[in-house]
């Protein structure tokens, strides 16, 4: 029975250290902000700091769906580039089957690109 408990000791130690560190990473910044006075708001702290001028509409306004569509298209074509590099490096070892699989992948991607282009997803007004 003692050997089974001794086997779990490293896991329990790891969990204990993780709990202590995660608690410290949450509590210490809160305490530091309270002690340094950064939680006391004033007009200078509440002013705009990113763009330099006040917002001209509600920050909870909905985004145009085209924003999300462009983001998704970027991710798709970015993943294409991420798949092309290792494929090109390993092309000598994977042979004709690997080449054929990548050509099918590129055709499917091209069809998706043509569809997005036809639907006007790449146009921005």
Residue 39 scores a pLDDT above 80: no
Whole-structure pTM value: 0.44
Structure tokens at 79: 């993943």
Note the pLDDT of residue 121. 76
Residue 58 scores a pLDDT above 80: no
Quote the CA–CA distance of 122 and 93 in Å, as a whole number: 37
Query: How remote is the C-alpha of 114 from its chain's centroid?
Result: 27
């Amino acid at each position: 029975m003692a050997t089974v408990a001794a086997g779990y000791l490293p896991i329990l130690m790891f969990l204990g250290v993780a709990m202590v560190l995660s608690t410290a990473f949450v509590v210490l910044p809160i305490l530091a902000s309270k002690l340094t006075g950064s939680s006391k708001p004033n007009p200078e702290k509440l002013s705009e700091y990113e763009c330099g001028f006040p917002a001209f509409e509600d920050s909870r306004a909905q985004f145009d769906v085209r924003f999300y569509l462009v983001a998704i298209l970027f991710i798709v074509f970015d993943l294409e580039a991420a798949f092309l590099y290792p494929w090109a490096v390993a092309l000598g070892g994977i042979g004709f089957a690997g080449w054929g699989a990548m050509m099918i992948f590129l055709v499917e991607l091209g069809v998706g690109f043509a569809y997005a282009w036809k639907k006007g997803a790449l146009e921005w007004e």
